[in-house]
Structure 1
Amino acid sequence: MKKSIWIFMLAFGLVVLSACNGNKVEELELPEMLDVQLEVPETVDVNEKIAMKAIVTQGEEKVADANEVEFEIWEDGKKEESSMIEAKNNDDGTYEAETTFEHDGVFTVQVHVTARGLHTMPKKEVTVGTGAAHEEDHEEGHDDHDHGQHADGFGMHFMEPENVKAEKEVAFTVHLQNEETPLEKARVRFEIWNDDISEKHDWVDAEEVSPGEYTTKHIFKEPGTYSVQIHVTNDDGLHEHEEHEIEVKN
């Protein structure tokens, strides 16, 4: 009986060794990052219609199936007044939209691209007309850091939820970028309050679900207009924040 057991164990061991040698474990490959080339003119005339174009690739492949491509535009010092324009998908890896500028000034055009579980948001500066008509406002705006003016190279894009209702769970997602690459391993917290309802501020921590993408969930107990401020810090001394308003309905 003992001899039979030893023969069985020896045979089993040989089978295991054979399986290990014959089947190599495949290495996990991380997806290639999105590359987005933003094309906008550096200088334009007031009320001149311009084309904005984003060329999206992943490695050698043209990305024609992006989930979302939007152009965000704001005047220097007035990030809180930015406007979003949805891009047209040309089905060849390019996405386009048009815009005009109503007065002289310095503006930023930033494209937000979400595709294949990744997000990137390069930006460029556009000088309109003389570019100096609102220089005074621009200087004042740099002191107003609480309303969306960030350090050079840092970018934040809050995917503001729609049709938010009381007593229903809602997802908060924000994309962070530094020097046009996803900002990873940051600490992201959502501060939520409504002074008409309570003096209490709720704090909700977000989790990084993919490079530079942070998400969490929250339930508003009552309808009303809530302030949501996103706080971002990391071990390199970064400290940024941006405030938004969310309307909660019954």
Structure 2
Amino acid sequence: MKKTLFIVLGIIFLTACGTNENNDSSSPETEEVIQPEVEVVFEEEPLPVDEKTPVQAIVTAEGEPIEDAEYVDFEIWNEAEGEEASETIEADYTEDGVYEIMYNFKDEGTYQVIAHTQAKGVHTMPQVEVQAGDSHSHEHAEDAEGSHDHGNGEFTVHLVQEEEFSSEEEAELTAHIEQKGEPFENGEISFEISSSQLDKHEFIEAEEVEPGAYQADFDFPESGDYLINIHYEKPQEEIHGHKEEETQVN
């Protein structure tokens, strides 16, 4: 009788071990990151001058339109005026993955257009060059002094401002930086914050939270206008640059 009992217990023990081994081997699969694709398109080129014309971003993933992008913001500036004079406008969703704004290119010349896009948890910001008016102004724009360079358009820097900053709670500052269309990784990034609300300029070191995305927290002491200067560098590669962004704090 004891021998039979030992055999039964042995079978139960082996069965339990086998079950545990199976459970241990089954781990949740790593969720695959879906990379969105963004194409900036215009109805006609060169663009008409001093009249509203559509600027569109077609956002897709694996060939299918993305209808629920967190945001698509167009940043536009005339090269003759420089990136410091850029405008950023939030796009509206239309259909079939198309996000659109109506924009008035007031003067002839060469314009830079960036589609800052957050979709499927991934940030991308394709930049295109487009001509408004005739080709003569295009040639002039290339020779114009004071045009934006920052490595001749090599770097793209964007401060995320989808939510209004408040003086009543800690703000999360996020900057996305690309170099030649690729994430600017392993850089040394800091936010320089200045305002009449501050006694001195504040410098905050940022941490890279994903390729090309840098974050830091800051307590704005009071509501008002602030200037955030994003410094990015890689001393070993002799890369030094900055981008200024104005923001309103409530």
Question: Quick check: TM above 0.5?
Answer: yes
Contact map agreement 1:104 1:134 (CA 8 A) in 2:
no
Q: Tell me the residue number matched to 2:86.
A: 82
Displacement of 1:190 after TM fit?
A: 0.7
CA distance 1:181–1:131, shift in 2 (3 Å): same
Per-residue CA deviations over 1:60-100 (Å, capped at 9, x if unaligned) read 33211001112211011421111123222124211122222
Look up the match of 1:135.
141
2:211 is matched with 211
Measured on the aligned residues, the alpha-carbon RMSD in Å equals 3.4
Shift of 1:54: 1.2
Q: For residue 39 of structure 2, what is the aligned residue in structure 1?
A: 37
Q: Deviations over 1:201-229 (max 9, x none)?
A: 32212223333322221012345543321
For structure 2, the 5+ residue unaligned runs are: 1-8
How far is 1:26 from its partner?
4.7
Q: Distance in 2 between matches of 1:78 and 1:244?
A: 14
How far apart, in 2, do the equivalents of 1:32 and 1:48 lie? 37
In structure 1, distance between residues paired with 2:224 and 2:103: 34
**Which residue type is aligned with residue 91 of structure 2?**
A
Contact 1:42/1:125 (<8 A) preserved: no
Q: Do 1:57 and 1:63's aligned partners in 2 also have CA atoms closer than 8 Å?
A: yes
Q: What's the CA shift for 1:185?
A: 2.9
Which residue in the other structure is 1:69 paired with?
A: 72
Corresponding residue for 1:159?
160
Is the alpha carbon distance of 1:169 and 1:150 closer, same or farther for their aligned partners in structure 2, counting shifts above 3 Å? farther
Instruction: Give the equivalent residue in structure 2 for 1:190.
Output: 191
Report the TM-score, using the length of structure 1 for normalisation.
0.78
Task: Report the residue type matching 1:51 in the other structure.
Answer: P
Which deviates more from structure 2 when the two are superposed, residues 217-226 or residues 90-99? 217-226
Aligned twin of 1:232: 232
Is the 2:74–2:89 Cα contact (8 Å) retained in structure 1? yes
In the alignment, structure 1 segments of 5+ residues that lack a partner are 1-7
Q: Percent identity?
A: 33
| 1:72–1:111 Cα contact (<8 Å) kept | yes
Q: Does 1:20 align with 2:21?
A: yes
Give the distance between the partners of 1:240 and 1:60, measured in 2 at CA: 36
